[in-house]
Structure 1
Amino acid sequence: MIPTGNGLAAAFPPYPLKEKLEGDRDFKVVESADYIAVTSGTRTFPWRVLGIAERDGDLLTNQLVWLLEKPSQLQDTSWIKPGKVSWDWWNANNISGVDFKSGINTQTYKYYIDFAAKYGIPYVILDEGWYKLGNVLDVVPEINMEELTAYAKQKNVGIILWVVWKTLDDQLIPALDQYEKWGVRGIKVDFMQRSDQLVMNFYSKVSREAAKRKMLVDFHGDQKPASMTRTWPNLISAEGVRGLEWSKWSAETDPEHNVTLPFTRMFLGPMDYTPGAMRNASKSSFAPLFAQPMSLGTRCHQLAIYVVYESPLQMLADSPSSYLREPEAMEFLAAVPTEWDETKVLDGRIADYVVVARRNGRDWYIGAMTDWTPRSLNIDLSFLPEGSFTIDAYQDGINADKWASDYKKTSSRVNRGTKMTIKLAPGGGWAARIHP
């Protein structure tokens, strides 16, 4: 959208005439046509959406974008398994308490696989560094891919491989064929950073070819996911957002930003924000440390994201060592699903706060997040069915305004007549699981 004198105008990028590779990953358009697409015959061109809701919270459950997408192109989707994934890049492979040198090597990724298996996490990502840039089939000598994928299979953990989009495009069929032989379960494709016709065609081509080999696709450094995820169900999530990775070099992914996203970016489809920080900071104590990153906001703010943000492939961005030191928080992170049967937005105001309840089977989860303003919010559990339930709640600790990792877990019995008041610290959150 482009602001105009009296409103907004929608614009699509023009058709690329000349492209240039800059560095090892940025394939940039240097000359464009005065039209948006080249086609023969009749086809459907891009559509525009303006979503209007009576309540801010209605934007979170609006399915307009999904309904406008083309129906699924896949006959069999039974092999597509949503779930959480242990991710290496954000935490810079900073693991501890081991007797080997951590880094991009077979031993480190076996450690990730062991962690995933311990908590029932179905996937582990090998991000940048596992192959020599420029050739997505040239595995670095520190990694024995056959040994690693066999180990993962034995532990019932799937491997997802990160790749630069243009390199993958140049080697697409041989690369995917080899990944299939290794038993790889998905690819994380990065650095497109464009949405012109050529790249949109690439999105479809990769999703289609990956589906033929029963592989998931997660696009990063990409455009918004609108028009893709219904058509290609194996396109399980997409970044298209200023996510947690920015905390490695910036203070821009702060709580106010985080409580804006559910009403804006998430309107367009699944959002791979990559949450899960166990090092948490208040506004005054935050520092962007690339190799030892932290999040802005409280620990419970991070936990609540797993309920509020929709992503069928949901990252655990911190180090397995960090999670192993936090068994109580990990109890929630291991249990929280990534797919839902029902969603209710209990309260919310764009850029201020949000409270979402989601059901998976018989269990309900609630996530609440606030900006830098501390809040008391009322929660009415009348959406529960008849009966008595246990609620395990994670709330900001009394000192969370200064020490953002401070939190408290409580358990109690509730029913559909229960009304609760929760307190959120500045940049805070609240997360709960309700189960029989």
Structure 2
Amino acid sequence: MKGCFILFLVSFFCAAGNAQKYKLAAPDKKLLAEIENGRQGIRVTLIKEGDSILNLTNLGLITDQTATGPLQVKRIKRNTVNEVIQPLIKEKSDKYHNSYNELVLTFRSRQSLTFRLFNEGMAYRFTTDIQDSLTVFDETLNVEFQTEDSVYFQSERSFNAAYEQPYEFKQLNELDPARLCNLPVLIQKQRGKFVMITESDLYNFPGLWVKSDGASRIRATHARYPRTLVTTDNPYSSGQVGETFDYIARVAGKRTYPWRIFAVADHEEDLISNNMVYLLASPTELKDVSWVRPGVVMFDWWAKNNIFGVDFKAGINTETAKYFIDFCAEKGFRYFLFDDGWSPKNDLLREVPGLDMPAVTAYAKSKGVDVMVWVIWNTLKDQWSEAFDQFERWGIKGIKMDFMNRDDQQMVAFYEAVASKAAEKKMVVDFHGAYKPCGLSRKYPNLLTREALIEFEQSGVSDSDNPRHHNLLPYIRMFTGAMDYIPATMRNANKKNFRHFGDYPMGWGTRAHAMALFIILSSPMTMLPGSPADYRREQECTDFLSKIPVEWDESRLLTGKIGAYTVLARRSGRNWHIGAITNDDPRMIDLSTGFLKPGRYHIEIIEDGVNAVTAATDYKRVRRSFTAGEILKLNLAPGGGWLARITPEQ
């Protein structure tokens, strides 16, 4: 149901200075935004049930076509929306409730500012309605919290970043003003509430970052528009920004700008259930998406060198590829990906010696498996039309693009160009070396996943991919969208015996922990890190994994505490899958099954074995029946886990 009415009068005026004031409430009336437009600019106070959450000040868009100084309101408009949206790719649910109240302030400067209040948070965006093109010098915003509030964040020294730093946790007044923080940023209020800061509907505009402005205030900042790009002999780093202009974007005068999101969560489960990034993104314009197929991916980066029990020389060659494809077909996995090394770094038009790509794709097609290829973004840009045409001739069904490491306007536009061109060629996309999701996957559902996190590959070189990190990801990075984490390694280690092996990495956490990540860290394209030889050796675990979907009709956090433990349930049809993990502390959890419909159920469990404390690969498989409402006893080892598949008996 949608309703709309227009008001041409300001709500009320403040006697001192003629400041214009407006109030906007969320549909459930618990969240309130007080908006003031006065001599000091636009100020917003967000209040939840009488508790002041944050203040926003200095909201502005500085361009070469808009005057500075106070904005004069020309008219206001209010709108109410209450609808259900069915996503084309069921990343975590088959439907999202889109319910909000909206206030649009239109200014005499031919700018407007739109506020939306959801029960789950607030978002605002600028719009310009100017005939000429615009040079945007800055978009300004200050965010004020209480001094005692704390923040989870990733920091960088420059905008040239891979978005793979560990999450830090500090009080706001301890942030280093010299460091940049990429989004999402999660504020933990002193009274327990959370505020997530991120953005959505980011198109042809630089990504939003924040940095400390002293005490308890942070302010917005953006990458400047590139003047020069650095060319190096290293294809991985070539194309990064050298010098910049003094503006952040050049845009059409008639356009909307990204939504700035301030989601408010009373508890951790509210972070899991929040869908604001998707709801605020542009709907798809693709007429047919029936060819977009989520699924599990086997890829050859580490695994090609860790094959055993075969009679061919493993490597980047036709025989190895067919071996992977046979395994995918056997287990019902959708994709095989050629990762780094299948072609010369600077030439995507030919394979390396020993690899016959047409023969591989023809073989994969006969087995019902789709083939993907990895590309360096800069090489793809240089060989744009030729590369996509070659991929199409070969029968390639997807690309994994890597090493962008930027989110200035130029690069953001390139992301969309890649997603659009891939859709034209009916190819799915995975972005690595990428900034966080901002809704692009709603506009282009063929964009199935992306990195923007420390994932399993870091286990080969650092201690950053650890059980505490795994218990941060669902509440921070996953808020913005799908994560290409690469879960379910069969090489497992505990804190004492974890080591770095770049060519054959192990995972920090027990076997059950690693497998539970498949359920918890959602992605409609989920990659498995091991070789077919590894998974055939662990047949029982592999069979369990092969029955876990990558699309879901419902997702809910059953219990969890950020950084400590997570128990997440997901439903596909009538079946439920539950994943549970802990940090490096052992943990007993009494898990209620009251979320199930009444009746009898069969449960199949993979849990930590009795010796998992010392031998992380130790696990136990349990099968039994139970009645909905019973308490399940979870006994998690340090760095441990638990996962289950629950099916109705009738």
Name the TM-score, length of structure 2 as normaliser. 0.66
CA distance in 2, matches of 1:141, 1:259: 43
SS in 2 for 1:188: strand
CA distance in 1, matches of 2:304, 2:259: 40
Q: After TM superposition, list the pairs within 5 Å mapping 1:182-331 onto structure 2.
A: 182-331=394-543
1:12 matches 2:226: no
CA distance in 2, matches of 1:360, 1:373: 31
Q: Residue 423 of structure 2 contacts residue 446 of structure 2 at CA under 8 Å; is this kept in 1?
A: yes
CA distance in 2, matches of 1:50, 1:350: 19
Larger RCO: 1 or 2 (CA < 8 Å, sep 6+): 1
**Residue of 155, 170, 173 corresponding to 2:367:** 155
CA-CA distance at 1:389 after TM superposition: 1.6
Q: Residue 300 of structure 1 contacts residue 431 of structure 1 at CA under 8 Å; is this kept in 2?
A: yes
Q: After TM superposition, list the pairs within 5 Å mapping 1:6-405 onto structure 2.
A: 6-22=216-232, 23-26=234-237, 27-405=239-617
- The residue identity in structure 2 corresponding to 1:250 is S
Q: Residue 259 of structure 1 contacts residue 351 of structure 1 at CA under 8 Å; is this kept in 2?
A: yes
SS in 1 for 2:444: coil
Deviations 1:214-243 (A, max 9, x none): 100000111101131111110010111110
SS in 1 for 2:505: coil
Name the TM-score, length of structure 1 as normaliser. 0.98
Deviations 1:315-344 (A, max 9, x none): 011111000000111011100000100111
CA distance in 2, matches of 1:48, 1:267: 14
Q: Residue 601 of structure 2 contacts residue 628 of structure 2 at CA under 8 Å; is this kept in 1?
A: no
Q: Residue 392 of structure 1 contacts residue 434 of structure 1 at CA under 8 Å; is this kept in 2?
A: yes
Larger radius of gyration: 2
Deviations 1:63-103 (A, max 9, x none): 01111111112121111111100021133531000001111
Unaligned runs of 5+ in 1: none
Q: Percent identity?
A: 45
CA distance in 2, matches of 1:69, 1:192: 22
- The residue identity in structure 1 corresponding to 2:384 is L
CA distance in 1, matches of 2:245, 2:590: 54
CA-CA distance at 1:21 after TM superposition: 2.4
Deviations 1:247-294 (A, max 9, x none): 011111000011101000001110111112111111110110011210
Unaligned runs of 5+ in 2: 1-209
| Structure 1 consecutive aligned stretches of length 4 or more whose deviation exceeds 6 Å | none
Structure 1 or 2: more strand by fraction: 2
CA-CA distance at 1:106 after TM superposition: 0.6
Structure 1 or 2: more helix by fraction: 1
Q: Residue 304 of structure 2 contacts residue 316 of structure 2 at CA under 8 Å; is this kept in 1?
A: no
Q: Residue 165 of structure 1 contacts residue 192 of structure 1 at CA under 8 Å; is this kept in 2?
A: yes
User: Which residue does 2:87 correspond to in 1?
Assistant: none
- The residue identity in structure 1 corresponding to 2:226 is P
Q: Residue 384 of structure 1 contacts residue 415 of structure 1 at CA under 8 Å; is this kept in 2?
A: no
RMSD over aligned CA atoms reads 1.1
**Residue of 193, 209, 212 corresponding to 1:3:** 212
User: Which segment is superposed worse, 9-18 or 330-339?
Assistant: 9-18
- Would you say how many aligned residue pairs link Structure 1 and Structure 2? 436
CA distance in 2, matches of 1:254, 1:11: 30
